[in-house]
């Protein structure tokens, strides 16, 4: 198949692929990008994604017969990746009867669900902030409880993914870089139960169609790519897309799912996620206590941003972002084989008229943390808020050997 470069860096094509499509994650990249990298990799036997997201890297690796490691800060996203890869394998391996999901889909619009407590965090949040049309938050909590009663594992987690994927579409909100309220120009919220029915059928069909092709496991080794994780065998291939500077707020834009499934017990619980996330938004800046590592090239851009903007947090965010990414890249290098390769999908940004060439600065930080850049491909161009052109690139690195050359002796 001919690869369309512009489609590689976005989730779009995954919407048509079995299992990948269970939770459309606009911030994700395509499985084709991962497949291309793994095809190209000198050794794709031990795959790692420090920013696992919805599990595109792990699922693509698993569909090629490889197990992979990932770290992911958002527990809902980590769970989703686990169910897509490991949940599918558990269902196929145990011979679970996915027809039961289809039977449930046929009744779900009529089924009576248990009455739920008005003290449930999702119900409380929705009462306060009008996140759902009347009664929908209780319906969601009730249906989650019904799924728990009706199904044992592994079908339970598959059914829960079908419910989870219906939550935001049936809310008054839209998932964008943040969760934002629908306006009169947007589509009305979907019917929650009809959405669940559709998702249950899709999940059951995909497990039947592609479940046996999932031949690797996805192993979560940590919840912070910067610190605290390790692997027993050297990593040979890393394919990842880090958060973009001032891009998506990954905790907040999945808060309805986090609340519904009990990963946080109130909106204040988002704070815990924010402290381990890469500093990529101005709201994370004040929470930081460690002084960022200073890099001259980053400092020069941070100074220009600081001179051009009234908001001091923007320059602090720029400094903290590259410092955080240094920790991730350094730790990844230290757990990688001498010949390991790293593919980074990254876009640049602009603040107060000042260009922040994220990919160039990140390549510089990578060089200092044990990586040597060997390639750069433009994936697509985007527009910044002020209309100027921004780019999304795929950077490729090889691990530097201790003597300063790469594992390839380049």
Q: Which is nearer to ligand SAM, 89 or 226 (CB)?
A: 226
Q: Closest Cα to residue 30, out of 40, 47, 17? A: 17
- CB distance 33 to 208 below 8 Å: no
**Contact range with ligand SAM by CB under 6 A, out of 37-45, 220-228, 284-292, 353-361:** 220-228
Interface residue with ligand SAM among 9, 18, 53, 281 (CB under 6 A) is 53
Size of the site for ligand SAM (CB under 6 A): 23
Q: From CA 240, how far away is CA 320, in angstroms rounded?
A: 20
Parallel, antiparallel, or unpaired: how do β-strands 349-351 and 336-347 relate?
unpaired
The closest alpha carbon to 9, from 359, 365, 408, 277, belongs to 359
Q: Closer to ligand SAM at the Cβ: 176 or 182?
A: 176
Interacting residues of 187 by C-beta distance below 8 A, sequence separation 6+: none
Q: CA-to-CA distance for 203 and 219, rounded, in angstroms?
A: 21
Residue 22 in 3-state DSSP?
A: helix
Q: What minimum distance in Å lies between the beta carbon of 301 and ligand SAM?
A: 21
- Applying CB under 6 A, does 27 fall inside the site for ligand SAM? yes
Quick one: which H or E segment has residue 49? strand 47-49
Structure tokens belonging to residue 113? 């669900």
Binds ligand SAM (CB under 6 A): choice among 64, 90, 226, 398: 226
Given candidates 58, 68, 71, 393, which one binds ligand SAM under the rule CB under 6 A? 71
Piece of the chain touching ligand SAM by CB under 6 A; list 27-35, 39-47, 129-137, 168-176: 27-35
Binding span for ligand SAM by CB under 6 A among 131-139, 157-165, 222-230, 283-291: 222-230
Window contacting ligand SAM (CB under 6 A); options: 58-66, 67-75, 146-154, 333-341: 67-75
| Closer Cβ to ligand SAM, 70 or 151, answer by number | 70
The 8-class DSSP code of residue 168 comes to G
x/- track of binding to ligand SAM for residues 246-285 (CB under 6 A): ----x-------------------------xxx-------
Site for ligand SAM in 315-334 (CB under 6 A): none
Under the binding rule (CB under 6 A), the answer on residue 28 touching ligand SAM is yes
Contact predicate 305/314, CB 8 Å: yes
Concatenated DSSP letters for 251-298? TGGGHHHHHHTTSSSSGGGHHHHHHHS-S-SHHHHTT--SPPPP-HHH
Question: Should residue 72 be labelled a site residue for ligand SAM when binding is judged by CB under 6 A?
Answer: yes
Backbone angles phi, psi at 171, to 5 degrees: -100, 175
Name which of 72 and 257 has its Cβ closer to ligand SAM: 72
Place of tokens 């934002």: 180
Distance CA 400, CA 368 (A): 10
Spell out where 275-364 has E strands.
Answer: 336-347, 349-351, 354-356
If one asks whether residue 225 binds ligand SAM (CB under 6 A), the answer comes out as yes
Q: Judged by CB, which is closer to ligand SAM: 50, or 407? A: 50
- Residue placing its CB nearer to ligand SAM in the complex, 79 or 192: 79
Instruction: Report if residue 224 touches ligand SAM, rule: CB under 6 A.
Output: yes
CB of 214 to ligand SAM, least distance (A): 16
Window of 218-226, 262-270, 292-300, 308-316 that interacts with ligand SAM by CB under 6 A: 218-226
Q: Which residues bind ligand SAM (CB under 6 A)?
A: 25, 27-29, 50-51, 53-54, 56, 71-74, 77, 224-226, 241, 243, 250, 276-278
């Amino acid at each position: 198949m001919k690869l369309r470069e512009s489609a590689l860096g976005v989730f779009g094509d995954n919407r048509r692929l079995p299992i990948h499509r269970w939770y459309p994650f606009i911030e994700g990249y395509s499985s084709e990008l991962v497949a291309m990298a793994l095809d190209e990799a000198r050794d794709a036997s031990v795959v790692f994604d420090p920013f696992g997201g919805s599990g595109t890297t792990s699922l693509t690796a698993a569909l090629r017969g490889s197990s992979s490691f990932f770290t992911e800060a958002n527990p809902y996203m980590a769970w989703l990746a686990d169910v897509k890869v490991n949940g599918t394998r558990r269902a196929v391996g145990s011979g679970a009867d996915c027809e039961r999901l289809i039977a449930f889909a046929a009744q779900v619009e009529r089924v009576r669900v248990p009455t739920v407590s008005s003290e449930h965090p999702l119900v409380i949040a929705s009462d306060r902030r009008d996140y759902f049309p009347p009664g929908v938050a209780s319906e969601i909590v009730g249906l989650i409880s019904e799924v728990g009663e009706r199904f044992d594992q592994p079908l339970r987690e598959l059914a829960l993914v079908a419910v989870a994927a219906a939550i935001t579409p049936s809310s008054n909100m839209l998932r964008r870089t943040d969760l934002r309220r629908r306006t009169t120009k947007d589509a009305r919220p979907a019917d929650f139960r009809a959405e669940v029915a559709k998702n249950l059928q899709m999940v059951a069909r995909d497990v039947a169609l592609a479940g046996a092709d999932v031949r690797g496991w996805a192993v979560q080794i940590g919840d912070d790519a910067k610190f605290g994780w390790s692997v027993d065998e050297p990593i040979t291939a890393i394919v990842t897309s880090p958060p973009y500077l001032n891009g998506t707020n990954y905790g907040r834009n999945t808060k309805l799912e986090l609340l519904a499934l009990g990963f946080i017990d109130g909106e204040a619980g988002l704070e815990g996620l924010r402290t381990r996330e890469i500093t990529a938004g101005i709201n994370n800046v004040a929470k930081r206590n460690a002084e960022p590592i200073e890099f001259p090239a980053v400092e020069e851009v941070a100074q220009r941003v600081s001179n051009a903007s009234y908001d001091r947090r923007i320059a602090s965010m720029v400094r903290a972002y590259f410092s955080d990414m240094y920790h991730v890249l350094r730790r990844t290098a230290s757990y990688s084989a001498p010949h390991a390769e790293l593919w980074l999908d990254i876009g640049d940004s602009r603040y107060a008229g000042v260009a922040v060439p994220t990919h160039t600065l990140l390549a510089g930080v990578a060089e200092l943390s044990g990586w040597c850049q060997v390639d750069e491909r433009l994936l697509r161009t985007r527009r910044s808020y002020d209309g100027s052109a921004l780019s999304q690139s795929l950077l490729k690195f090889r691990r530097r050997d201790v003597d300063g050359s790469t594992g390839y002796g380049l």
